[in-house]
Amino acid sequence: MTLANTPQQTAGAYSPAAVYFADSDCVEYVKEDSFVIYHRVDDFLTIIFDETKIVPVGFKLKGFKHVFNTHLKSLFELNDKQFLVLATAIEAVCTELGDTLFADDERTRWYKAARKLAANDNVKLYGSLFEVAA
């Protein structure tokens, strides 16, 4: 990921940002710099909670390269200024899962929570699309 394409903050300040980790093929977003607890929902989604394990403060999307290449790549002209709104990626997986997602109330709840967090925080993945698409 190139820093030129990421939102800039002053030194020492925590700036929440979605990050793509190529080695583990996942995207992670955590909105606050504090102790967090990971709760795996399924093969794609992990919800990240604050220390109370009540409030979702982030998410991890695993197998992101497949989701991007299968559902999202055709929607974008890849260039240096491109970014991906992560709510779109979560919606694509919900569509792929279809009725199996909604057969499990808890799983549905966590997907809705991740999508809401991504949309409300306007979470974008910057400068990593070349790595994902490769």
* pLDDT, tens digit, 9 for 90 and up, residues 93-102: 888 888 888 8
55 vs 128, higher pLDDT: 55
4 domain-assigned: no
Give tens-digit pLDDT for 46-77: 999 999 999 999 999 998 888 888 777 776 65
Q: 45: which strand partners? A: 61
36 domain-assigned: yes
CA 59 to chain centre: 6
How many domains, in total, are found in the chain? 1
Percent of the chain residues topping a pLDDT of 90: 40
Would you tell me the crossing angle of helices 86-97 and 105-120 to the nearest 10 degrees? 160
1 domain-assigned: no
* In contact, 44 and 63? CB cutoff 8 Å: yes
87 domain-assigned: yes
Domain region containing 45: 16-133
47 domain-assigned: yes
Taking the C-alpha atoms of residue 107 and residue 84, their distance in angstroms, rounded to an integer, is: 24
Tokens 């709840």, residue located = 109
Token pair, residue 62, equals 């695993």
pTM, rounded to two decimals: 0.79
